[in-house]
Structure 1
Amino acid sequence: MPDTNKLSRRRFLKATGGAATAAALAGCTGGNGEEETTTESGGQEETTTEQQTEAEDSGNELSGSVFQRILSGTVTTLDPVAATDTSSGIIIQQVFDCLMSYPDGLPTVENELAADYEASEDFTTYTFQLEDATYHDGSAVKAADFAYAWERLAASENSRRAYFILDSIGIEHETDSDGNYVPGSLGVEAASDTELVVNLKEPFHDTLEMLAYTSFAAYPEGIVGDIEGYDGEMEYTEFASKNPIGAGPFEFAFWEKGTAAAVSKNEDYYGDVAQVDNVRWQVIEDDTARYNYAMNENADYFGLPTAQYDPGKVQVDNVDEFGREVGKYGPVRNGKTVNYVGVPTLSIFYVGFNMKKVPKPVRQAFAYVLNQDQMVEEVFKGRGSPAYIFTPPTIYPGGAQAAESKVEADYPYGVAETDIQAAREVMEEAGYGPDNKFEVQWTQYNSGTWEEMAKILRDQLASAHVDMKIEKADFSTLLERGRNGQLEAYTLGWIADWPAADNFLQLLNPPQTNTDQTGPISYVNWTADNGDSYQKATDAYQQVVNNPAPTDEAQAVRDEAYVEIEESNWDDVAMLTIYNRKDETFWYDSVNIEPFGGMGPSRQKLNNVTLNR
């Protein structure tokens, strides 16, 4: 039987290129991807007062100690298979448990609801023994619950992550003549109440890492009836918004959409019972309002908007083996010096283009004028590193040095420079000019810092015959419009679901970008009609799919394909990369909390947090 800790450590080092450069993120994200943004936007101090009053008047009172936090984005659902945004995932992480987990957000998987496991020699069959655990309703966690929950992930109309289980990890299943999943055919068996057998079509290099994602969480069999064979013990909307039942260290307390959410400790948790009675999140999308809320000490743990951030106030006392910078920051506006952690995360923040609506010359013009280095230093105040490839450098084939060499040798639009002349030329070759400008709509989340970057691009592009209009939208609206194919140029980020290049490059697999289909993973609509490298990218990603094994031979094939996908994106500019973020979080001395790891704060469970007040 594999040694879980050794296997995790080996994979971690392979993924990151060394302990000192540990990094990772979690799924689709807006301005920052986590609870608090690293960006700045306009706003009035009164916003905080209004939101505080609304929450206080809601009637949702919590008894006992409360760990106060902030969410910068709207929670959309509490259903693990439906959630794609980070704010929802943060709550789900506390309420639901999976077979595996990333302790404190470190990219080293460990057992969670899995007490033990065995893998077959060919890595196609995994047998899990379950912990003696109960759900929040008092019922026992059983292997059949996983079979049911994963069937929902594969077959429910509410699932947004079916490709995780059917394609990415590739659990055995049948398809019909149109290639659609045949309900009930999933290769997951409850051999007994405590033994779960999982059969893969072929070995997958990050099986355990995938099973730590909250889409694979357990909940009672038959709780909702959105798949064949189940009528449901409750209505779907009740489960997804009012009564989510999991086996996590916290039970759901309340959720007021757009205002606040809270969880309360699970006294019967099979692991470490929470030290705090409650965790409460205030939802504040405006950066200035979030800053005021934290400075008034209404939040114990928070981020600082870039407008109020001063890199000169960071004092790093220690950099640990995982690359986490730990120290102090201050004084802040209220005179306090707060605790600080900065973690380089496996993240990518980018501009995506709906290629059906934005022609290639326009996309290339964007690439020529964008100076990533300038944006990171002048706009984002050095809170990250400039990105010229979509894969975070530490998990690029060959590591960060190989990524840097590739960019220096082959990036076609200029590294650390703005080339307005080249942008103008590519537009004029396409027939555009002073009297025939191309109009493009830029849509971003509510962030003044990203708007500052947008204005720089807008002014530069004006000299290259591109008329760029800027609009802002809340995160959930932006995602909805993206799924419906209504965006033109848009800003988003990606946080690692598992620490491997294919987790990022799946966003550049052309067939998965079609907004005419259900659940596109990105919104660029990359086809042969709008991209010269469409077929190259499609074929390369198929090579990744065809060589999923955890072997050196398969890894070599995947690595070659990863590079081809990056080159294809450079050629067609489906997505224009901006930067890889360093997550920075701050907290008052009243809180004792382990620094989060490279998977980011959204992956950190909070049952070991203590309060000193």
Structure 2
Amino acid sequence: MSEQDTTRRSFLAATGGAASAVALGSGLAGASAGQETTTEGGEQGTQTGQGQGQRSGGTLNLINSTMSTLDPIKATDTASGEVIQQVFDALMNYPDGNIEVQPLLAKNYEVSDDFTTYTFTIREGATFHDGSPVTAQDFVYSFERLAQSDNSRRSYFILQSIGVKHSTDADGNYQPDTLGVTAQNDRTLQIQLQEPFHATLEMLAYTSFAAVPEGIVGDINGYDGELNYQEFSTSAPVGCGPFEFEKWESNTEAAVTRFDNYYGKKAEVDRVHWRIMSDANARYTYAMNKNADAFSIPTQFYNPNKVNVTKTDNRGRKVGTYGPVRNGETLNFLAVPTINTFYIGFNTNQVEAAARKAAAYAMNKEQLVEQVFKGRGRPAYHFTPPAIYPGGNDAYQKHAQQEYPYSYRQTDLQKARQVMKEAGYGPNNRYSFTFTVYQRSNTWPQVGQLLRDKLSSAYIDMNIETAPFSTLLQRGREGNLQAYSLGWVMDWPAPDNFLQLLNPPLTDTSQSAPISYVNWSGTEASQRARQAWTTVQNNPAPTDKAERLRNQAYIEMEEANWQDCVFLNVYHETDQRFWYDYAQIPKFGAAGTSRQMFNGVTLNEPNAGGGSN
């Protein structure tokens, strides 16, 4: 990984963190976040429902955003992740993107009484696409790559997040080949942690921990490599997933084909094909021409009045129909509350507290969700999404309703003006700052315009500018943004995966790799947040007592953020998918679309969607 590594005590000091930092633009089949796991948000990703009596075969045609790599340890964008999920398998898995983690390559596992030793038995019969068997030694090599390769952007996942035992040099850098991962025999893998971590199994489901054949690339000590890195990461990746790599042409297309020797459920379709495109008009036209079987509808083309929900399941997923659409069809419809938060971040070094609080008073989150995002989400009052908030959705709502210090479910311009007057501003002494959004977004400029118009009457002139996603992130890391829009999607389903962004030391843009760009320090609230994060770090075990202490600390961090208004949380996005009748794809879960494997897909009419070959 190119970002700095730290100890778990300073936890995830890498930009992109453990979740997906996401730009706020348009994303189909997973939002591309360039080189970060930041999501684009605000425009949606792909998906489906279930059916009976399908015949197998054919090509599942989808739409994807720009991909960055096919190497599991380098990928941090969800566009690459969706393809990688088909080709590579890990020990654990989120089945169909549901957050209840289950074994995949692991047949079973045991955990020591002190929660520091995990022993996995690898399934018999699992083979890589090159025909070689999957062994425990392959995992030792794969995890060593994750920890030490210069190509790894997720080394903190194994060294700090999970905290696998390892040694460091005098400068705190990982010493190669000291990882506490051993192959006791071909089918038994043991992982030793420095201390307990409550989300170990959940993190091992992430594709960064996927198995690759031992020695496939020579980017770590002791291996010359069967392939050069460019080959492995772009044109010849070798995994053991239900599909094997076929092709990838940057900014054009990607495809995978069924792996007939897969150890698990063999794919029903012959292949999966993604057309890569970023323009919303082109995507919608492609879908309306039936070149895609399952897709998202960009927000500017979406009409909530065309939705007919026929069922809401026990996971809160809404199933129904949508249409008629431009081509005369009525589509199948699925809406899933996924685990994410989209927010406005304020650089506290450059935007005064009064202006930040005025923005919070001025913002009507319900209005934004309905008018700008067309009801595809819910207002965000906490940075922790409702599905993983301590106590769940009911506790989330109760705490927000009773304790949120600004304008709950409304705009309060009187208080916005009051807080600015108390700071010395008025009609003849106006305040100004700049709000930067992702240039491809069709929604967040509208958010900015609505907020700007309201703040004008509170003596604030808010300028709105757009920037390419990579530029936005680079300027943020350098401390050159005043206010910005981003989002965060889960890497593991727990509040610390989100609230790490509000750990004040990791917001310092004078450091080499801040995880957020707000420079939060020097206030009573920032000290509250820092102490609460220390409590989280000091109680990592999967025990009831540790969980209670973490939960109290999580809420303390949320309230500290409210106090200083560092992140102005805006909304939690609901992912939607639309599909034609002939395509049947199991419903995805709260972990999102990029976590779903497509070996459960069937087509009534193989190749019905057309697509490119």
Shorter-chain-normalised TM-score: which range? 0.7 to 0.9
* Other-structure match for 2:578: 586
Shift in alpha-carbon separation, 1:94–1:520, aligned structure 2, 3 A: farther
> CA 1:36/1:191 → structure 2, altered by over 3 Å: closer, same or farther?
closer
Letter in 2 for 1:261: A
Aligned to 1:426: 419
SS at match of 2:447: helix
Q: Could you tell me how far 1:127 is from its partner in structure 2?
A: 0.7
**Does residue 91 of structure 2 align to residue 99 of structure 1?**
yes
> Deviations along 1:366-393, whole A, 9 cap, x unmatched?
2222111111122112211111111112
Rounded to whole Å, the distance in 2 between the matches of 1:565 and 1:268 is 49
Relative distance call for 1:361 and 1:237 in structure 2 (3 A) is farther
1:325-353 Cα deviation digits (max 9, x unpaired):
22221111111111111111222111123
Residue 410 of structure 2 aligns to a residue whose secondary structure is coil
**Matched-pair contact (CA < 8 Å) for 1:119–1:126:** yes
Would the aligned equivalents of 2:28 and 2:295 in 1 still touch at CA under 8 Å? no
Aligned residue for 1:50? Answer: none
Q: Distance in 1 between matches of 2:91 and 2:186?
A: 14
Pair 1:566–1:403, CA change in 2 (3 A): same
* 1:2-38 Cα distance to aligned partner (Å, 9 max, x none): xxxxxxxxxxxxxxxxxxxxxxx96233336662677
Alpha-carbon distance in structure 1 between the residues aligned to 2:294 and 2:509:
37
Alpha-carbon displacement from aligned partner over 1:136-160 (angstroms, at most 9, x marks no partner) = 2222222122122222222333322
Which of these residues, 582, 588, 591, is aligned with residue 596 of structure 1?
588
The residue matched to 2:265 in structure 1 has which SS?
coil
Q: CA deviation at 1:172?
A: 1.6
Do structure 1's residue 125 and structure 2's residue 117 form an aligned pair? yes
Say if 1:39 and 1:307, in contact at 8 Å, map to a contact too: no
For 1:297 and 1:432, the matched residues in 2 are separated by: 56
Question: Residue 602 of structure 2 aligns to which amino acid in structure 1?
Answer: T
2:80 corresponds to which of 77, 88, 93: 88
| One of 339, 344, 359 as aligned partner of 2:337 | 344
* 2:448 aligned partner, one-letter code: A
Moved more, 85-94 or 132-141: 132-141
How far 1:113 sits from its partner (Å)? 0.9
CA distance in structure 1 between the aligned counterparts of 2:598 and 2:480, rounded to whole angstroms:
38
In structure 2, relative to structure 1, the CA distance for the partners of 1:441 and 1:310 (3 Å cut) is closer
**Matched residue pairs, number?**
564
Cα distance in structure 2, aligned partners of 1:294 and 1:331: 14
Cα drift, residue 189 of structure 1: 0.8
Given the alignment of the two structures, is residue 448 of structure 1 paired with residue 436 of structure 2, yes or no? no
**Measured at CA, do residues 261 and 487 of structure 1 come closer, stay the same or move farther in structure 2, by a change above 3 Å?**
farther
Aligned residue type for 1:103? P
Q: Distance in 2 between matches of 1:333 and 1:244?
A: 39
Kindly state the Cα deviation for residue 356 of structure 1 after the two structures are TM-superposed: 3.6
Residue of 208, 216, 230 corresponding to 1:237? 230
Residue in 2 that maps onto 1:438: 432
Query: Which sits farther off after the overlay, 417-426 or 291-300?
Result: 417-426
Choose the corresponding residue for 1:285, options 254, 278, 281: 278
Answer whether contact 1:389 1:407 (CA < 8 A) is retained.
yes
1:324 alignment partner in structure 2:
317
Taking the TM superposition and a 5 Å limit, the aligned residue runs for 1:56-71 are 65-71=58-64
Secondary structure of 1:559's aligned partner: helix
Q: Is 2:240 the partner of 1:247?
A: yes
AA of the residue aligned to 1:558: R
Aligned in 2, Cα 1:490/1:179: closer, same or farther, shift over 3 Å? same
Tell me if structure 2 keeps the 8 A contact 1:287–1:447.
no
Contact kept? 1:114, 1:129, Cα under 8 Å: yes
- For structure 2, the residue ranges without an aligned partner over 5 or more in a row are 1-17, 32-40, 45-56, 606-613
Amino acid at match of 1:325: K
The one-letter code of the counterpart of 1:551 is: T
Give TM-score, length-normalised by structure 2: 0.86
CA deviations on 1:136-187 (whole Å, 9 max, x unpaired) are 2222222122122222222333322222222222212223444433332221
* Cα displacement (A) at 1:268: 2.1
Q: Is contact 1:432-1:438 (8 Å) kept?
A: no
Unaligned residue ranges in structure 1 (runs of 5+) = 1-24, 42-63
Who is 2:267 aligned against? Answer: 274
Deviation at residue 480 of structure 1 after TM alignment:
4.3
Q: List structure 1 runs of 4+ shifted beyond 6 angstroms.
A: none
CA distance in 1, matches of 2:151, 2:527: 31
Aligned residue in 1 for 2:482: 488
2:146 corresponding residue in structure 1: 153
Determine if the alignment matches structure 1 residue 458 to structure 2 residue 452.
yes
Relative to structure 1, the CA distance from residue 326 to residue 255 in structure 2 (aligned partners, 3 Å threshold; closer, same or farther) is: same
Inter-CA distance 539–449: structure 2 relative to 1 (3 Å threshold)? same
CA distance in 2, matches of 1:370, 1:418: 6
Letter in 2 for 1:79: D
Contact persistence 2:269–2:599 (CA under 8 A): yes
* SS of aligned partner of 1:123: coil
Indicate which of 509, 521, 535 corresponds to 2:515.
521
2:19–2:497 CA contact under 8 A, matched in 1: no
Pairwise CA distance, 1:481: 4.1
Structure 1 residues 525 and 78 mapped into 2: Cα distance closer, same or farther (>3 Å)? Answer: farther
Q: 1:164-563 to 2 correspondence within 5 Å?
A: 164-433=157-426, 434-528=428-522, 531-563=523-555
Q: Using the alignment, how far apart are the partners of 1:255 and 1:611 within structure 2? A: 23
Q: Helix, strand or coil: the match of 1:533? A: helix
SS at match of 1:274: coil
- C-alpha distance in structure 2 between counterparts of 1:564 and 1:387, whole Å: 17
Q: Distance in 1 between matches of 2:314 and 2:107?
A: 27
Deviation at 1:606, TM superposition (A): 0.4
Q: Report the CA distance shift for 1:253/1:346 in structure 2 as closer, same or farther (over 3 A).
A: same
CA distance in 2, matches of 1:208, 1:282: 33
Deviations 1:253-306 (A, max 9, x none): 222222322222222222122222221222222223222221111111111122
Please give the alpha-carbon distance, in whole angstroms, between the structure 2 residues aligned to 1:124 and 1:40: 41
Matching residue's letter, 1:412: P
> Structure 2 vs 1, CA of residues 430 and 555 (structure 1 numbering), >3 Å: closer, same or farther?
same
Identity of aligned residues (%): 55
Give, as a single letter, the amino acid of the residue that structure 1 aligns with 2:100: T
Q: Report if the CA contact (8 A) 1:395-1:501 is conserved.
A: yes
Distance 1:231 1:556 in 2: 48
Q: Aligned residue for 2:14? A: none
Counterparts of 2:190 and 2:27 in 1: how far apart (Å)?
34
Contact 1:440 1:489 in 2 (8 A): yes
Partners of 2:98 and 2:233 lie apart in 1 by: 28
Identify if the C-alpha distance between structure 1 residues 237 and 517 changes in structure 2 by more than 3 Å, giving closer, same or farther: farther
Deviations 1:553-606 (A, max 9, x none): 101110111011111211222211111122111100121111111211111100
- The answer on 1:77 being equivalent to 2:69 is yes
- CA shift at 1:516, angstroms? 4.5
Paired with 1:104 and 1:36, the residues of 2 have a C-alpha distance of 14
Q: Is the 8 A contact 2:351 2:433 kept in 1?
A: no
SS at match of 1:67: strand
What is the root-mean-square deviation in Å for CA atoms of aligned residues? 2.4
Deviation at 1:463, TM superposition (A): 3.0
